Amino acid sequence: MILSVLKKKNWSLLDWLLIVPALTFSANIMAIEEPDFNLLHSEPPFELRKYAEFIVAETKLDGSFDSASRKGFRRVASYIFGGNKSLDGSSTKIQMTAPVTVMPDEASWKLHFVMPKNYSISDLPSPNDKNVKLKVVPAHLAAVVVFSGWTTEAKIDDRTIELQSWLKNQGFEIIGPAQIARYNDPFTLPWLRRNEVIFKVQRSN
């Protein structure tokens, strides 16, 4: 029913009464755990954040951005959905968090999921797939540009350039590769999607 409403050009009051609750539900259903940070400065769409330490499950892949995103997601998702082994030999399902983050790594890509805050790295089960690694990301300062829609390479490039320009004007130095963070499931409508380009930064000397 919702799809038939979306295809209509002229919406009635009844259409709005049907679609608005559905869109609100879609926007809120993904309100899941994210890494902790303090917001130091906001100048929409830009933000400066101080992240606390967190743990990630990470994998490295070759290929295009889209290909690495798909394959990497499946690989790390397999780990959290039970492709792992605890000390007692059992498997554990781990809560999904947000965002899913992709970043370039020389000629390859790295993709990671953030692990829930109730785990220490010693508590987490070992991945069955040797290509999935657990690691601690230390506390750090990060600059972010937030945007909606699909994460096309053209849009990512544009937002990255905007963030680089903003950081230069703010007196910050970039100290790592651009990270592309996506917070929503594939079925979320484009205008409800939350995406970010993130740089680790430090004050320029």
- Could you tell me which residue, 197 or 15, shows the higher pLDDT? 197
Q: What is the mean pLDDT of residues 143-151?
A: 97
What is the C-alpha to C-alpha distance for residues 39 and 151, in angstroms, rounded to an integer? 24
CATH number of 32-50+139-203: 3.20.80.10
* Token pair 């089960």: residue: 125
Distances in whole angstroms, Cα of residue 78 to Cα of each of 48, 82, 104, 107: 33, 6, 22, 24
Residue percentage of the chain with pLDDT more than 70: 85
Stretch 20-36: mean pLDDT: 59
From residue 190, give the alpha-carbon distance in Å to each of 4, 43, 55, 183, 186.
17, 23, 29, 12, 9
CA–CA separation, 91 and 78 (whole Å): 11
* Sign of the C-alpha dihedral computed for residues 201, 166, 155 and 32 taken in this order: positive
pLDDT above 80: residue 48: yes
State residue 168's pLDDT score.
95
Q: Looking at this protein, which amino acid is placed at residue 141?
A: L
Percent of the chain at pLDDT exceeding 90: 80
Q: Can you give the pLDDT at residue 12? A: 53
Region(s) of the chain under CATH 3.20.80.10: 32-50+139-203, 54-137
- Average pLDDT over all residues of the chain: 88
Between CA 182 and CA 190 the distance in angstroms is 12
Looking at CATH, the fold of the domain delimited by 54-137 is given as Multidrug-efflux Transporter 1 Regulator Bmrr; Chain A (3.20.80)
Position 31 confidence tier, pLDDT thresholds 50, 70, 90: low
pLDDT at 205: 75
- Dig out the tokens for 47 from the structure: 């933000």
Residue 19 CB coordination number (10 Å) = 16
